[in-house]
Amino acid sequence: MTTRKRRPSGEASREHILSIALGLFREKGFDGTTMRDIASAAGLSLGAAYYWFPSKEALVLAYYARQQDAHAEAARGALETMPDLRSRLGAVMHAKIDMLKDDRKLLRAILRSTLGADEPTSVFSEETSDVRRKAIATFHDAIGKDESIPEDARPLFAQALWTLHLGLLLYFVSDTSEDQGKTRALVDGSLDLVCKLAPLLASPMLGPMRAEIAALLQNAGLFAAKK
């Protein structure tokens, strides 16, 4: 309550602009929608839109956060009722696809900036680390206390699942099959394989390899060892 008391109609503008923008993105695509379109559809001037969102890509960032929160929420519900690892993972993935199913065009248009290395909207960027952390946590929750995955392997496994999920989404955005059936099949097939293969890494034969993988990723800075 120091200086943060004022936001009477302010934040409402922000939400309003974001809704209008996402609607236009879905309808006309990302490139097909102009910042001037957004501003005028929202009943504001161009400059006002830039007051709330410093760039067109900032709208994408806001979309990320919104989706991630919604997904975490949806996943939380599904996780409670699922008895085993495989079905929990399936629930998480399918919940995401259900949620994004009508946004494929939007996602496709956005994709270019979500994989870049420099871009602030990159899935790997500092700016999106919050969203990323939450997403990985959702997978960690899905793993739960399943005994087939040794406890110390769970963070690594969660991260691997997140990476797999990125790959699946990459496929998904261009999947024009009925109800995204091909993506669903790919999701289920991948998860079947993963659930069969993952426990093998705990077996005597492949056990040491797990440490090798973890070390490799840690040296590359791709995986932060917990405490």
Partner DNA sequence: GACCAAATTTGAACATGTTCAGATGTTAGG
Partner DNA sequence: CCTAACATCTGAACATGTTCAAATTTGGTC
Does the protein bind a second copy through residue 179 (CB under 8 A)? no
Tokens of 163: 């990476």
* Strand ranges for the chain from DSSP E: none
Q: How far apart are CA 108 and CA 124, in angstroms?
A: 18
**Start-to-end CA span in the chain (Å):** 35
| Nearer of residues 14 and 105 to a second copy, judged by Cβ | 105
Question: Residue 72 corresponds to which amino acid?
Answer: A
- Which residues, including other chains, have CB under 8 Å from residue 26's CB and lie 6 or more apart? 102, 103, 105, 106
Does the protein bind DNA through residue 6 (CB under 7 A)? yes
Does the protein bind DNA through residue 221 (CB under 7 A)? no
User: Which listed residue (48, 65, 216, 225) binds a second copy by CB under 8 A?
Assistant: 216
Does the protein bind a second copy through residue 218 (CB under 8 A)? no
Binding residues for DNA (CB under 7 A): 3, 5-11, 13, 31, 33-36, 44-48, 50-52, 54-57
Which residues lie near a second copy (CB under 8 A)?
A: 108-109, 111-113, 115-119, 170-171, 173-174, 182, 185-186, 189-190, 192-193, 196-197, 209, 212-213, 216, 219-222
